[in-house]
C-alpha cells in the first residue's frame, strides 16, 4: 500500500522532473561548460579573467537594481497595506487594476514609456505647451530606474498584499487595544509579520531588475550598458559565447547567494 502510493507519486512527478532536467538542469550544465572552455572546447580560466572588464557594468547594474527595488518597496508596501485595508470587493478591483499593465507585453510597455519620456514625447509636449521648458529623460539612469520600478512594482505589491490581507485582524486590534496608534500598529505588528512578503517582493523585483536588458537599451538610450545587455551582446556573437556564459554564471551565483541570505533572514524572523 505504502509502496504503491510512493510509485504513484513518482509517476505523477515524472513530467515535472523531465521538464526540470531538460529546461533547467541541462542549460545550467551548458553554462558551466561554456564558462570553463574556450571556443575549441578546451579547459580555460580565461573567461573568468575576462570578467574584470565588466566590473563596472556589474556595479552599475547592481546599484540601479538596488535603487529600483528600494523604490518599489517604498511605494509598494504602503500601497499593499492600503489595499489590504479596504473591503474585500474593493480589494479585488484594486489588485486587478494593479495587475492590468502586466497583461500588456513588457516590450510594448517599455516602448510606450519611451513615447512618453522621449525628448519630443508626450510629457515634453505637455511641459512645452505649459511653457515649462523641457526635461531630458531618455538616456538617463533615472529613466532606467523608473522603467524598472514601473515594470516590476506589481511583483513587490502582490506578495506583500497577500500576506497582509491574510493577517489575523485580531492581532491588529490587539495592538490597538494595548495602546498602539495606527502608525505603531504598522511598525510594531504589520511590518514584522509581513517580512516574508517583503523578502519575496524584494527578490521578485531585484532578480528581473538586475537581469533586464530591454529596459536599459530602450530607456537608457544606449548611453550605458547593464549586465543583461552585456550578456545579450556576448551571445549575439558565437566567438564570445564563453564570456557570456561566465557572466551569466556569476550573475546566477550572485542571485543565489542573495536568495540564501534573504531566506536566512526570514527563518530567523520566524523562530
Residues of this chain that bind another protein (CB under 8 A) = 168, 170-171, 173-181, 184, 188-189, 192-193, 269, 271
Are 152 and 204 within 8 A, CB to CB?
yes
Are 114 and 218 within 8 A, CB to CB?
yes
Nearer to another protein, 181 or 223 (CB): 181
Q: Which of 202, 208, 209, 191 is nearest to 263 (CA)?
A: 202
Nearer to another protein, 14 or 178 (CB): 178
User: What minimum distance in Å lies between the beta carbon of 170 and another protein?
Assistant: 4
Dihedral, 267, 210, 28, 33 alpha carbons, nearest 10: -130
Q: For residue 14, what is the enclosing H or E element? A: helix 2-20
Nearer to another protein, 29 or 178 (CB): 178
CB neighbours of 175 closer than 8 A, spacing ≥ 6?
184, 185, 188, 189
Nearer to another protein, 117 or 189 (CB): 189
Q: How far apart are CA 253 and CA 230, in angstroms?
A: 17
Nearer to another protein, 88 or 168 (CB): 168
| CA 130 to chain centroid | 36
Q: How far apart are CA 242 and CA 66, in angstroms?
A: 27
User: What minimum distance in Å lies between the beta carbon of 155 and another protein?
Assistant: 24
Cα angle 155-156-161, degrees, rounded to a multiple of 5: 105
User: What minimum distance in Å lies between the beta carbon of 260 and another protein?
Assistant: 22
CB neighbours of 237 closer than 8 A, spacing ≥ 6?
none
User: What minimum distance in Å lies between the beta carbon of 264 and another protein?
Assistant: 16
User: What minimum distance in Å lies between the beta carbon of 163 and another protein?
Assistant: 12
User: What minimum distance in Å lies between the beta carbon of 269 and another protein?
Assistant: 7
CA atoms within 13 A on the CB side of 199: 18
Nearer to another protein, 109 or 176 (CB): 176
Nearer to another protein, 180 or 254 (CB): 180
User: What minimum distance in Å lies between the beta carbon of 182 and another protein?
Assistant: 8
Find cell 513530467 and name the residue.
15
Amino acid at each position: 500500500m505504502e509502496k504503491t502510493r510512493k510509485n504513484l507519486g513518482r509517476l505523477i512527478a515524472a513530467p515535472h522532473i523531465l521538464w526540470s532536467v531538460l529546461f533547467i538542469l541541462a542549460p545550467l550544465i551548458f553554462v558551466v561548460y561554456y564558462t570553463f572552455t574556450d571556443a575549441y572546447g578546451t579547459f580555460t580560466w580565461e573567461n573568468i579573467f575576462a570578467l574584470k572588464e565588466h566590473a563596472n557594468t556589474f556595479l552599475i547594474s547592481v546599484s540601479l537594481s538596488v535603487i529600483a527595488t528600494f523604490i518599489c518597496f517604498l511605494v509598494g508596501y504602503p500601497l499593499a497595506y492600503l489595499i489590504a485595508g479596504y473591503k474585500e470587493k474593493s480589494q479585488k478591483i484594486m489588485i486587478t487594476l494593479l495587475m492590468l499593465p502586466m497583461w500588456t507585453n513588457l516590450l510594448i510597455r517599455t516602448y510606450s514609456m519611451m513615447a512618453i519620456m522621449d525628448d519630443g514625447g508626450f510629457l515634453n509636449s505637455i511641459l512645452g505647451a505649459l511653457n515649462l521648458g523641457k526635461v531630458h529623460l531618455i538616456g538617463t539612469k533615472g529613466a532606467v530606474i523608473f522603467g524598472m520600478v514601473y515594470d516590476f512594482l506589481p511583483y513587490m505589491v502582490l506578495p506583500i498584499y497577500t500576506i497582509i490581507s491574510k493577517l489575523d485582524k485580531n492581532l491588529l486590534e490587539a495592538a490597538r487595544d494595548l495602546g498602539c496608534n495606527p502608525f505603531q500598529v504598522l511598525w510594531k505588528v504589520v511590518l514584522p509579520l509581513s517580512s516574508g512578503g517583503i523578502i519575496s517582493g524584494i527578490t521578485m523585483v531585484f532578480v528581473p531588475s538586475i537581469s533586464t536588458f530591454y529596459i536599459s537599451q530602450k530607456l537608457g538610450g544606449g548611453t550605458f550598458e547593464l549586465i543583461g545587455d552585456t550578456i545579450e551582446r556576448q551571445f549575439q556573437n558565437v566567438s564570445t559565447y564563453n564570456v557570456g556564459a561566465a557572466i551569466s554564471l556569476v550573475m546566477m551565483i550572485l542571485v543565489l547567494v542573495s536568495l540564501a541570505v534573504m531566506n536566512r533572514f526570514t527563518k530567523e524572523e520566524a523562530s
